[in-house]
Amino acid sequence: MTKYNEELYRGERHWKEGEFDVYRSTHWSAPGCHNGCGLVYYVKDGVLDHVEGDPRAAFNQGRLCIRCLNQLEAIYGKDRVVHPMRRDPAKRGDDDAWEQCSWDEAYDLIEENVRRIQKDYGPESIVGLVGTGRDVNCQLALTCY
């Protein structure tokens, strides 16, 4: 027997509920989350108002951890980084060492350093990791010259 209000938590992916657009989806959050918990997102005027656990989700059955409950802070938090940042090497360790830069500057800086490391130490010196710490897999960089 169902223990939740089936009219409230319907089967569709999107519906209107009073002043809210309600969306059913899943959530994974880095680092370390493997689960993809089911969430119900309540959006008012294009802004997320709150989330609830989706009792129809087979994995979490409506239960949520703090990562899921923290969606508003993760999305709208005043300290959230939403632009590329670069650190001034002269200020390393200082609180104000980071400054905003453009996407073009960020990509140029990444390319410059990747190419420098490849030249100085060989392309095999750059290794990407995939995983969460519990199941890390190495991904060796392709040689791109």
Residue 18 belongs to a domain with what CATH number? 3.30.200.210
Residues listed for the chain: 145
Side-chain half-sphere exposure of 143, counting CA atoms within 13 A:
5
**DSSP reduced 3-state for 111:** helix
Decide: 28 and 73 in contact? Cβ < 8 Å.
no
pLDDT digits (tens, 9 = 90+) for 33-50: 777 889 999 999 999 999
Residue 44 forms part of a structural domain: yes
Residue 63 forms part of a structural domain: yes
Decide: 118 and 99 in contact? Cβ < 8 Å.
no
Residue 129 forms part of a structural domain: yes
Question: Residue 28: which of 39, 13, 15, 14 has the closest Cα?
Answer: 39
**pLDDT < 50 regions, the chain:** 1, 144-145
Write down which residue in 30, 48, 76 finishes a domain: 76
Write down which residue in 58, 76, 94 finishes a domain: 76
Residues 60 and 33 in one domain: yes
pTM: 0.63
Continuous segment of H or E residues that includes residue 73: helix 71-76
Task: Give residue 49's domain range.
Answer: 14-76
Count of the separate structural domains present in the chain: 2
